[in-house]
Amino acid sequence: MTMPETDDGSVCARCALHGGTCCALRPGEEELCFPVSAVERARMEAAGARLKHFTRQENTRAFAENLARLFPGEEEALARLFPPGGGHDRLTILPGGACALLKTDGCALPREARPLYCRLFPFWIQGGRTLYFEMESCQAQRERRGGAGLGGILGMTGKDIHGLYASLRTAWGLQEKK
Ligand code: SF4
Ligand code: SF4
């Protein structure tokens, strides 16, 4: 039975019950996980995240290519921030592919303590425009059958999305986008 649709953001908890969430990667793709900056890590640790929830990851070519797709035209800045041979923190991914902080009813952390990428997902900004990553297993997209009303069901306004994206850029060390 489908749970009633609400606009309070609880769709992500329903998504966790169905097992298809953005909190899991395909095993073998761990290196593609987004970076967790020092400021985000500190906020997570203050909310209960432990050493075991973080993994040091080498800045591999696949990681760099993924970042370049997210921030087209900013390859030089990205190479300075995440130089080849260097490393960054990411979330620990369990052998099945799920984030170590994922519980049966969703993320173990309160929303405001989660990494900015998690809080922004499935939205992204490119060229000043709000986009979303299409994902079949996203419960919010299933319930809204695509993008219309997606912000509402996830409890996010356009201002929230732009604000989170700006905070993510700052946290990751990228300059403010005009
Ligand atoms: S930190 Fe929380 S929201 Fe982010 S991937 Fe892990 S479980 Fe999901
Ligand atoms: S954003 Fe979509 S995929 Fe991620 S937990 Fe929420 S409903 Fe699931």
Is 19 a residue whose pLDDT tops 90? no
| Cis preceding linkage at 84, omega within 30 | no
Q: How far apart are CA 88 and CA 67, in angstroms?
A: 13
Ligand 1 atom nearest to CA at 21? 8
**C-alpha 145 to ligand 2 mean position (Å):** 13
- When pLDDT is averaged across residues 137-160 and rounded to a whole number, the result is 87
**C-alpha 13 to ligand 1 mean position (Å):** 12
Contact 12 CB / ligand 2 (< 6 Å): yes
Global pTM value: 0.91
Ligand 2 atom nearest to CA at 139? 7
- Give the confidence band of 146 by pLDDT, cuts at 50, 70, 90: low
Minimal CA–CA distance to 69: which of 107, 61, 18? 61
Read off the DSSP letter of residue 175: P
CB 36 within 8 A of CB 89: yes
